[in-house]
Amino acid sequence: MITEADVLKALSNVDDPDFGKDIVTLNMVKDVKVEGKQVSFTVELTTPACPMKDMIHKACVNAVKIFIDKEAEVNVTMTARVLGARSADGSDVLPHVKNIIAVGSGKGGVGKSTVATNLAIALAKEGAKVGLMDADIYGPSAPLMFGVQGERPMMRDVDGKGYIEPIERFGVKMMSIGLLVDEKQAVIWRGPMATSALKQFVTDVYWGELDYLIIDLPPGTGDIHLTLVQTIPITGAVIVTTPQNIAMADAKKAMMMFKNANISVPILGVVENMAYFTPAELPENKYYIFGKDGGKSLAEQFEVPFLGEVPLVQSIREGADRGFPAVLNDEPISLNAFTEIAKKVARNVAMRNANLDPTKVMTIGV
Ligand SMILES: Nc1ncnc2c1ncn2[C@@H]1O[C@H](COP(=O)(O)OP(=O)(O)OP(=O)(O)O)[C@@H](O)[C@H]1O
Ligand SMILES: [Mg+2]
């Protein structure tokens, strides 16, 4: 006779390597049921994009067979509940958003928006509730990348207050200031107007419940960035760079900004974009146009995780321009790169939340 206690005991031999504890201690095992030799239970991961999902699944089946009965019929349901680390002091502007991930770089044109968009869609494809906020007031690119240029968002009334409803596309709730104002109008905004527009934009969008809100930052490390970190408790930052020295110098500035004692946003890792060029007809050939392994060495230097490299391929640029991001295509080169990065980001967010306090919103003046 197999009992539920036997099953839990067997499963206490399965570790979640990220947390260094077994899945029973971590309270990840739910709904254990036993009928004769049929054993079923649910394993609740900290993210649907868990890179170790298959490995943990296999280890659970093996544990029951090895420690209890090799003829047991094991049925494991893998689910996920994303946790957030948000402060409970009421200062939170987006209380229903569990994790806020800022994508920044310092340098312009290195592929922040491309990475942010594909990252958001990749996380949604894994089953997470995801939003993307395009915070680039002067050069919003999300409307083009999501193929919703010219669309106007709807309004929604919540408890007497009007909110802007994000546009839902590819499983992601997207909002861009480019959907609200005429581009020509935004370009002439001076600093204070831009920051106040952004503040309002942050608090007036109705995101609903989200596991991850990705923020596509504008280039640089200026006012807009300070406003954002003052207004929103950012869970962590993803830094995008190309391997070129000039891009890495700016990426360093961005990292210094996030690490600044008054800001203190943990860095989830570095993405090396345009890591090498690969022609579609010769996918085995790699040309290191901008240098090799720059992002990797930057990550090492700052002792932050390296999240992966994205090659320079024509289909990524085309996907962005025709409003159908590359991660939606089946072309393995970009699909794999972005999916792997998304999984690493999700994993690093879960680990960050387990190990660090919630990010505090900055209270000092600029
Ligand atoms: N890996 C890639 N392969 C091919 N093209 C790419 C890749 N990454 C980005 N691009 C292209 O490079 C251009 C700049 O990318 P993107 O707009 O994402 O950069 P950005 O850092 O957000 O720029 P900005 O600083 O203006 O916000 C776009 O045309 C985009 O399609
Ligand atoms: Mg951009």
The answer to whether residue 366 is domain-embedded is: no
The answer to whether residue 31 is domain-embedded is: yes
**Can you give the pLDDT at residue 349?**
97
The residue type found at 288 is Y
Q: Do 51 and 157 belong together in one domain?
A: no
d(CA 34, CA 50) in angstroms, rounded, equals: 27
**Can you give the pLDDT at residue 183?**
66
Q: Do 344 and 200 belong together in one domain?
A: yes
d(CA 165, CA 174) in angstroms, rounded, equals: 9
Q: Do 103 and 71 belong together in one domain?
A: no
Measured by CA distance, the residue closest to atom 18 of ligand 1 is 111
Residue 18 domain boundaries: 4-80
The answer to whether residue 164 is domain-embedded is: yes
Counting ligand 1 atoms within 8 A of each CB, the residue from 105, 107, 113 with the most, and so the one to mutate, is: 113
**Can you give the pLDDT at residue 365?**
44
Measured by CA distance, the residue closest to atom 27 of ligand 1 is 218
Q: Do 62 and 28 belong together in one domain?
A: yes
CATH of the domain at 225: 3.40.50.300
Domain count, the chain: 2
**Can you give the pLDDT at residue 364?**
44
Report the chain (366 residues): mean pLDDT per 10 consecutive residues: 95 94 96 96 96 96 96 96 74 83 94 98 97 90 94 91 94 92 69 77 90 94 81 93 93 92 91 93 91 94 97 94 94 93 97 89 54
Q: Do 206 and 334 belong together in one domain?
A: yes
The residue type found at 186 is A
**Can you give the pLDDT at residue 221?**
85
Q: Do 14 and 106 belong together in one domain?
A: no
**Can you give the pLDDT at residue 87?**
63
Q: Do 127 and 44 belong together in one domain?
A: no
Q: Do 133 and 68 belong together in one domain?
A: no
The answer to whether residue 237 is domain-embedded is: yes
> Which of 80, 107, 141 is the last residue before a domain boundary?
80
**Can you give the pLDDT at residue 194?**
76
The answer to whether residue 91 is domain-embedded is: no
Burial of 273 (0-12, 13-18, 19+ CB in 10 A): buried
> Which of 80, 108, 142 is the last residue before a domain boundary?
80
Q: Do 150 and 249 belong together in one domain?
A: yes
Q: Do 120 and 75 belong together in one domain?
A: no
Counting ligand 1 atoms within 8 A of each CB, the residue from 103, 105, 112, 114 with the most, and so the one to mutate, is: 114
What H or E segment, with its residue span, contains residue 104? strand 97-104
Q: By the 8 A CB rule, do 106 and 188 touch?
A: no
Q: Do 75 and 168 belong together in one domain?
A: no
The answer to whether residue 39 is domain-embedded is: yes
Q: Do 9 and 61 belong together in one domain?
A: yes
Question: Whole-model pTM?
Answer: 0.92
The gap from C-alpha 215 to its chain's centroid, in whole angstroms, comes to: 9
The residue among 336, 335, 340 whose CA lies nearest residue 324 is 335
Length of the chain: 366
Radius of gyration of the chain (CA): 22
